[in-house]
Amino acid sequence: MNDYALEVEAVSKRFNRGERNTSLRDSVPALARRLLGRAPVEAARQKAFWALDDVSFQVKRGEAFGIIGGNGAGKSTILKLLTGIMQPTKGRIRTRGRVSALIEVGAGFHRDLTGRENVFMNGAILGLTRQEIQKRFDAIVAFSGLEDFIDTPVKRYSSGMFARLGFSVAAHVDPDVLLVDEVLSVGDYVFQRKCIERMGAVIASGVTIVFVSHNLRELANLCPRSLLLEKGKVQVIGDTEDVIRTYFGRGQQPRVPDSSSGVLITKVTVEDEHGPAVEFASGDKLRVTVEAAGITRHDDMSVVIQIVDDHQYPVFDTCTQRLGAGELTLDQDQTLRCTFEMDCSLAQGTFHVSAFLHRYLTNHPYDRWIAAATFFVSGAPEARGVVTLHPKLTQCEIGPSEGALVEGRRAAHE
Amino acid sequence: MIISALREIIERRNLLYMLTWRDIRVKYKESVMGILWAVMMPIVIVCAGMIVKFAFALMSGRPLQLLDVTSVAVKASPYAFIVAAIRFGTSSLITNTDLVTKIYMPRLSFPLAAVGSQLFDFTIAAVVVGIFLAFAHVGVSVHLLWLPLLIVTLVLLGAGLAILLSAATLFLRDVRFVVEALLTVAIFFTPVFYEPSLFGRWAPVLWANPLSPILEGFSSVVIHHQAPSLPWLAYSVVFSLGLFLLSIMRFKQIEPLFAESI
């Protein structure tokens, strides 16, 4: 007997892109056409697309496993197949034990029912018996922090309260396998920390977890092993740090430019001293090069670059204007190329570079490219946070007692 | 397939119970009359029946008998139950799309809960009818022992239709409107205000409605203190049970497509 909680074997899932016939008015002519022969079947096949294509992976019991991928990569489809909401078109999925999903928190809440009633309702939906809910009820309410509102109909809740209660119920189901999809961004910062701590506790208690998130830092913290999914295909499975590196290291995605702008950012590259790079050590030189092409004449431009961290928090920005270059003029059919050189005083993490062409002295953008490039910083083990201030320990010694103050404290202690 | 489906429902009986409870709770919450509404529908039908009976009596010159009124009263609440069960059952899946597309659970629970919440109304209405019959000195007899079979058949028929129609509505939204139209005219093809015998040799056409033997059965055992018409009742039982099982089978067959086709 093997020790896998989840086994996904060569699973493919096909969806129909077109609209299905959901009313008689549409389906009667469609049926007639089918009876008369040909076309529709062929058309349907053409409209079909594969959301998942030959995906295989295994998750060991007690493992925390991450799934990474851009929008439309098929992450949510995998989770839906794992929960049994949908069936795979091809391939096989085996699960062991109770599978529960933290996917849509608060799904099934009824607006007219009170918080208490909804906890019982939602618990039943998630597969708990009445006794099990009763046993967990206090913990659920305490976790949500909604003790004072538990007998209020949830229609009077704020959206944050709603989501908090939903998460609290879902987080107390105690399944054998827990599927988590982007739900840790619920509530305020304090509640989010609580959710992530809860996840950590759940993992520690030996529950198998499959985690889908765009918050790659949290994902890397929780899951040692991950899978990178792209257009329904498995790109790589392995150590999460490596997978994230592969995810961002694939180079720039082609961009669909805004046709109305008269200038266009054509390329944004991140380099170290030796050339294009995605990995930096804290303290390295970091060069960002922005290339642009003129379509119509602009004589009042500045180039802005911005670095944001994984939470989209702006860490740093600079521009040609502040660095002493005057108004840049770009005529049609001319190209612009400017390189910013910086000291990479960032702490460990993932960072994204955005580039903007602004009208000089204003923030009116002619063109912009959000998250045009991504890079990683490693090293700086002494620092936590976004930047490193290059700390040095200049004093750390133990001396004699400070006298009166300490004496008083000690008395209080005893 | 049917057995595993039913086993799943039983394993997750708390879900069925909570869904039923929710349907009842939500329906009567914040309404002044509360569960008195459960009695409303049968009362309306009885009143309409009395008017019809009164008109019949006027036309035929026969005096209006108490028996006519009690008979309509007995048939009105099962009729109201099955109409409501079909109506709410049909829309039970599309009103819960949130749950159907996002969380896995035995989806059979939805139509069954819709029927269950109507069963609650039916029970209340039945108690009221019982009190009314006691005042009308209808009396009791050993034939009342037929009631459990009649009620089970009625529920199976309602549940079978609810299960089948709820799934059909997910794939073809028109089903709901067709059902609504049929329910509107159903009273003319179901012996609620009259007896099938009224139609002479055309009576079998009315009896063929599987609901007729059940309603007539109620009337026979409660009012007339007679056994129900056995061949027709047997037909009804077989039809209802068969429909119920087939519906579950078909429902389970197409259930994997639910989340994609909503």
Residue type present at position B69: V
Cα torsion A354, A355, A358, A361: sign: positive
Beta carbons of A30 and A65 less than 8 angstroms apart? no
Taking contacts as CB-CB distances below 8 angstroms, the residues of chain A near B99 are 107-108, 125
Cα dihedral A175, A179, A181, A184 sign:
positive
> Hey, what long-range contacts does A265-268 have (CB within 8 A, 24 or more apart)?
A265/A290, A265/A291, A265/A292, A265/A355, A265/A357, A265/A367, A265/A368, A265/A369, A265/A372, A266/A291, A266/A292, A266/A293, A266/A335, A267/A291, A268/A353, A268/A355, A268/A369, A268/A372, A268/A373
Residues on chain A touching B173 (C-beta within 8 angstroms): 22-23
At position A243, the amino acid (one-letter code) is V
User: What are B100-127's pLDDT values in tens digits?
Assistant: 888 888 899 999 999 999 999 899 889 9
Q: Does residue A31 surpass a pLDDT of 70?
A: no
B96: Cβ–Cβ under 8 A, 6 or more apart, which residues? A108, B110
Q: Best interface-test mutation with A: which of B102, B171, B253 has the largest number of A CBs within 10 A?
A: B102
Architecture of domain A4-248: 3-Layer(aba) Sandwich (3.40)
Cα A142 to Cα A198: distance, rounded to the nearest angstrom = 13
Mind telling me how many Å the CA of B245 is from chain A's nearest CA? 23
Rounded to a whole number of angstroms, the distance from the CA of B164 to the nearest CA of chain A is 16
Q: Which residues of B touch A130 (CB under 8 A)?
A: 14, 17
Under the banding of pLDDT at 50, 70 and 90, the label for residue A29 is low
- Kindly report, as residue ranges, where domains of CATH 2.70.50.60 are found in chain A: 263-378
**What is the per-residue pLDDT for A200?**
84
pLDDT < 70 regions, chain B: 262
Helix axes A189-204, A159-171, angle to 10 degrees: 10
What is the mean predicted confidence (pLDDT) over A265-278?
Answer: 86
Pairwise CA distance, residues B4 & B9, whole Å: 9
From CA B181, how far away is CA B178, in angstroms rounded? Answer: 5
Report the DSSP pairing between strands A208-212 and A64-68: parallel
- In 3D space, the residue among A287, A289, A259 whose CA is nearest the CA of residue A367 turns out to be A259
- In a mutational test of the A interface, the residue from B94, B104, B173, B257 whose CB has the highest number of chain A CBs within 10 Å is B104
Q: Where in chain A is the domain with CATH 3.40.50.300?
A: 4-248
Q: Assess contact for A336 and A291: CB atoms under 8 A.
A: yes
Contact A15, A76 (CB under 8 A): no
| CA–CA distance, A83 with B104 (Å, rounded to integer) | 6
Secondary structure E strands in B65-142: none
DSSP string covering B87-105? HHHHTTTGGGHHHHHHS--
Q: Which residues does chain B have within 8 Å of residue A21's beta carbon, measured at their own beta carbons?
A: 172
Contact A112 B29 (CB under 8 A): yes
Cα A266 from Cα A292, distance rounded (Å): 5
Q: Is A300 exposed, middle or buried (0-12, 13-18, 19+ CB in 10 A)?
A: middle
Residue A126, min C-alpha distance to chain B (Å): 8
Mutation to test the B interface, candidates A19, A20, A22, most B Cβ within 10 Å = A22
Is residue A84 within 8 Å of A92, Cβ to Cβ? no
Terminal-to-terminal C-alpha distance of chain A: 58
Q: Quick one: pLDDT band at residue A254, thresholds 50, 70, 90?
A: low
CATH 2.70.50.60 fits A263-378, yes or no: yes
pLDDT at A387 over 60: yes
Of A23, A113, A125, the CB nearest to B103: A125
Find the mean pLDDT for residues A141-169: 89
**Res B235: pLDDT:** 95
Quote the tokens at residue A288.
């960002």
Residue A22: pLDDT band by 50, 70, 90 thresholds? low
Cβ <8 Å between A108 and B98: yes
Secondary structure element (H or E) that encloses residue A249, with its range: helix A240-249
Inter-chain CB pairs, A–B, below 8 Å? 76
B98 vs A contacts (CB less than 8 Å) = 104, 107-108
Query: Which residues partner with A48 through β-bridges?
Result: A16
Of residues B15, B22, B102, nearest to A113 (C-beta): B22
Given a cut of 70, is residue A97 above it in pLDDT? yes
A368 three-class SS: strand
**Partner-chain residue, chosen from A23, A110, A124, that has the shortest CB–CB distance to B26:** A110
In this predicted structure, what is the pLDDT of residue B213? Answer: 93
Residue A44 pLDDT greater than 60, yes or no: no
Q: Which residues of B touch A114 (CB under 8 A)?
A: none
| Averaged pLDDT, A146-158 | 90
pLDDT value, residue B21: 92
CA distance B79 to A267: 73
Residue at B245: amino acid letter: L
pLDDT-based confidence at residue A85 (cuts at 50, 70, 90): confident
What are the E-state strand segments in A42-193?
Answer: 48-60, 64-68, 90-95, 99-102, 177-181
Q: What is the mean pLDDT of residues A363-378?
A: 84
User: What CA–CA distance (Å, rounded) separates B255 from A352?
Assistant: 43
Task: Compute the nearest-CA separation of A74 from chain B (Å).
Answer: 14
Per-residue pLDDT tens over the stretch A311-363: 778 999 998 988 888 888 888 888 999 999 999 888 888 888 999 988 877 77
> Among candidates B24, B90, B249, which has minimal Cα distance to A117?
B24
The interface predicted TM-score (ipTM) is 0.85
Chain B partners within 8 Å of A120 (Cβ): 18
- What's the CA gap between A381 and A283, in Å, rounded? 12
For residue A241, the model assigns a pLDDT of 81
Closest chain A C-alpha to B256 CA, distance in angstroms = 6
Note the pLDDT of residue A376. Answer: 83
Among partner residues B14, B172, B259, which is closest to A130 by beta-carbon distance?
B14
SS3 breakdown of chain B: % helix, strand, coil, rounded to 5?
A: 85, 0, 15
Question: Whole-model pTM?
Answer: 0.77
Q: Which residues of A touch B25 (CB under 8 A)?
A: 113, 117
Report chain A's mean pLDDT, rounded to a whole number. Answer: 83
At A36 the pLDDT is: 62
Structure tokens, A394: 């200049």
**Chain A partners of B26 at a C-beta cutoff of 8 Å?**
110, 112-113
